[in-house]
Amino acid sequence: MHALSHTGRIESFTARSSRALAWLTWGMAGFGLAVTLTTAGLAGLRFAAPLALLAAGGWVLFWRPGVLVSDAGVELRNPFRSVGVPWDALAHVDTKYALTLITDHGRFTAWAAPAPGVWGARNARPEHLDGLPETTYGPARSVRPGDLRHTDSGQAAALVRTRWADALASGLAHAGRTRETPIAKRTAWPELVGTLVLAAATVVTLSVA
């Protein structure tokens, strides 16, 4: 379920490294299960809870998170909660620590789009500074490290800023309505409950092992 009623074309951003980490996590869980079954047979399934928790972590932490944009606004899909920010509610886009949507109702950070570390900033090239949405640039055309085109936060921010500018230009969004426009929040109950159950089962499994 979406936290925002999306309209028009939906674009999404998810870091490629997150996809790779998800597959790595699932591979580790699958390998662990195979080893367990090989050594202990079907009786080894009673020790599967930690492996299931590992697999669930791959989904919750790496595969599920993303940034979705449409004509309606931006949805930040984080591990256990989604936040829908209509264009009329958006006041500013920040990338100091991660893609962050600033509204009159609070600041909302995207798990899927962290800002780069020192290494990522040092790898910046001139082309990473060009062609960004105009609202990206500060005084003297300065750009924050988190806005660089080759970074996760920069790619997500460029996507959000471009669609925001298009929405304002087409009349789908209106300035000056940030205070009265509500933010939508939705808890990812299946992921939350499932993770808690698997965590409890893991504690029990390890305590009797």
pLDDT tens per residue, range 43-72? 778 889 999 999 999 999 999 999 999 999
Report whether pLDDT(151) > 70. Answer: yes
In tens, the pLDDT along 3-57 reads 899 999 999 999 989 999 999 999 999 999 999 888 888 777 888 999 999 999 9
Burial label, 184 (beta-carbon count in 10 A; 0-12, 13-18, 19+): middle
- Maximum pairwise Cα distance, the chain: 67
State residue 96's pLDDT score.
Answer: 87
State residue 182's pLDDT score.
Answer: 95
Report whether pLDDT(125) > 70. Answer: no
- DSSP helix/strand/coil, 55: helix
* HSE toward the beta carbon, residue 163, CA cutoff 13 A: 28
Alpha carbon distance 157, 65 (integer Å):
15
State residue 23's pLDDT score.
Answer: 97
Report whether pLDDT(130) > 60. Answer: no
State mean pLDDT over 193-208.
92
Alpha carbon distance 70, 118 (integer Å):
32
Tokens of 147: 């806005």
Nearest of 67, 167, 150, 153 to residue 115 by alpha carbon: 153
State residue 179's pLDDT score.
Answer: 94
Q: Where are the alpha helices (DSSP H) in 79-129?
A: 118-122
Contact, 77 vs 67, CB < 8 A? yes
